[in-house]
Amino acid sequence: MPRPSILPLLALLAAPALEAQSAESIALKGADVAIYNLAGVVRVERGSGRDVSVEVRRGGNDGARLKLETGEVRGRQALRIVYDADRVVYPKLGRWSNTTINVASDGTFGDSRRDSEDRWKGWRPWGRGDRVRISGNGDGMEAWADLVVRVPQGVTLRLRHAVGEVHADGTDGRLDIDVATAAVDVANTKGALVVDAGSGAVSVTGSSGEISLDLGSGSARLSKLAATDLAVDVGSGGVTGDNISVSGRFSLDAGSGSCELTALAARRSRIDVGSGGLRAEFATDVDDLDVDAGSGSVTLGFPDSVGAEVDIETGSGGISSDFAVQVNRTDRHRLVGTVGDGKGRIHVGAGSGGVRLRKLGNTK
């Protein structure tokens, strides 16, 4: 007696899994588009044609429940991935990890945080919409959406992503990324770049244009940048950078955490460090440098050619200079004078910790 084949049954059982892994394609028209997604991995790359194309791959036991909705939101075309639950489970977030945000019924979130200059103010669990808790484990809707977003040249992308990862490479246009708890990695982009992260590491490499980074907590890594203006604001976490060129103004505000910058070419800079040491090596002369450090040592390196009026003051800690200083005023905790031709300005205020002006190439 022939045995019944189990292949049709296996095919039926496998169909939902295969369907869940297949990509769904969506096109967004217009020069300014938005994407909203609560969980997953997002990859952004340069695309061809006129429209933004999005490949969506659902994941999780409840991935089929995700709704992919498109249409105009606040004047721009948007893709909204709607999670029909107030508790979402994303295992990659990690066991016992969770974050909470407010989500409107249409799947949008974060837009109420803008101020009059269209800048973001940081993640808040309150505001417009219903509260949604995203956890690494436990009860809830286990679902996420992994996206590949291809953006044509000159198109603005506004990405609102709660948890997971964001990777962007090679785009040429304004890129505005906002995440709650996610790692963000940006490389080789051209055009304005805005990254706002509630928590998570942010890395930007090989990018050019106006760049603004705002991190609540987490480290920032910068490398090989050619920025018109560069603004970095970190609440808690270290900042490292190398080979950074800024034609306009450079600003760094770090609440806590050490900051180390090498090969920095920025003639106008404002650096504010609450706690943690600062080490900055400038590859060029400076026109205007203002440093304020609450606690921790400050070491500023310059080439031999540096020329500036210097005013250095510490609450406690010594002051030293590898450069010859024509002293106008000095006491135990303050030094006022001129280095080189005196054309620039260097002002340093340190609450506690020593200050050193270091000549680059001096290994001591």
Whole-number Å distance between alpha carbons of 300 and 244: 15
Condensed to tens digits (0 to 9), the pLDDT of residues 73-118 reads 989 999 999 999 999 999 999 988 999 999 998 899 977 544 333 3
Count the Cβ atoms, other than its own, within 10 Å of residue 85: 16
Is there a contact between 216 and 237 (Cβ–Cβ < 8 Å)? no
Condensed to tens digits (0 to 9), the pLDDT of residues 231-279 reads 999 999 999 999 999 999 999 999 999 999 999 999 999 999 999 999 9
Is there a contact between 147 and 165 (Cβ–Cβ < 8 Å)? no
- Model confidence at 13: pLDDT above 50: no
Instruction: Label the pairing between strands 24-28 and 175-187.
Output: unpaired
Mean pLDDT across the stretch 137-164?
A: 98
- Model confidence at 192: pLDDT above 90: yes
Q: What is the pLDDT of residue 21?
A: 61
Binned at pLDDT 50, 70 and 90, residue 129 comes out as confident
**DSSP calls for 198-226:** EES-EEEES-EEEEEEEEEES-EEEEEEE
Q: What are phi and psi of 36, to 5 degrees?
A: -120, 125
Nearest CA to 52 out of 145, 144, 159, 143 is that of 159
The residues facing 317 across adjacent strands are none
- Model confidence at 12: pLDDT above 80: no
Condensed to tens digits (0 to 9), the pLDDT of residues 323-334 reads 999 999 998 899
Is there a contact between 141 and 59 (Cβ–Cβ < 8 Å)? no
Q: What are phi and psi of 333, to 5 degrees?
A: -125, 20
Whole-number Å distance between alpha carbons of 213 and 223: 14
DSSP 91: G
Whole-number Å distance between alpha carbons of 189 and 115: 26
Give the H or E element holding residue 9.
Answer: helix 7-21
DSSP 112: G
Condensed to tens digits (0 to 9), the pLDDT of residues 271-281 reads 999 999 999 99
Whole-number Å distance between alpha carbons of 329 and 313: 11
Show me where the domains of the chain are located: 30-210, 219-364
Q: What is the pLDDT of residue 115?
A: 37
DSSP 92: G
Whole-number Å distance between alpha carbons of 347 and 33: 43
Is there a contact between 125 and 102 (Cβ–Cβ < 8 Å)? yes
Higher pLDDT, 117 or 296: 296
Is there a contact between 232 and 220 (Cβ–Cβ < 8 Å)? yes
Mean pLDDT across the stretch 203-211?
A: 99
Grouping H, G, I as helix, E, B as strand and the rest as coil, residue 231 is: strand
Nearest CA to 272 out of 294, 239, 250 is that of 294
